[in-house]
């Protein structure tokens, strides 16, 4: 348990940020899930449309330190590769 006033304030701030970060993480995961579902169904146009929404979500999450930037880049790269394989 926090004893000093600054530690108590930090605990309150962390609690507020956690709620916001959870919301952003959920939004990001949902965007990625729509791309993965479109890829699984084999619908390239839907996958491309979903990817245009998911890529900025991933990169914004990386900018806001919700996920690491390399993690976001890796996810974008892998999804793009899977979409490209649909064209063949």
Q: What is the pLDDT of residue 36?
A: 97
Q: What is the pLDDT of residue 88?
A: 74
pTM of the model: 0.84
Domain borders along the chain are 5-87
Give me 56's structure tokens: 């900025």
The CATH class of 5-87 is mainly alpha
> pLDDT for 36-76, tens place per residue?
999 999 999 999 999 999 999 999 999 999 999 999 999 99
Q: pLDDT over 90 for what percent of the chain?
A: 94
Per residue in 35-55, is it b (16+ CB within 10 Å) or e — as a string? beebbeeeeeeebeebbeebb
Averaged pLDDT of the chain: 96
């Amino acid at each position: 348990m926090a004893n000093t006033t600054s530690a108590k304030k930090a605990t309150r701030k962390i609690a507020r940020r956690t709620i916001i970060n959870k919301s952003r993480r959920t939004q990001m995961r949902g965007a990625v899930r729509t791309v993965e579902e479109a890829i699984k169904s084999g619908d390239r146009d839907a996958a491309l449309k979903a990817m245009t929404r998911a890529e900025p979500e991933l990169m914004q999450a990386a900018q806001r330190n919700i996920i690491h930037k390399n993690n976001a880049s890796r996810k974008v790269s892998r999804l793009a590769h899977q979409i490209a394989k649909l064209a063949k």
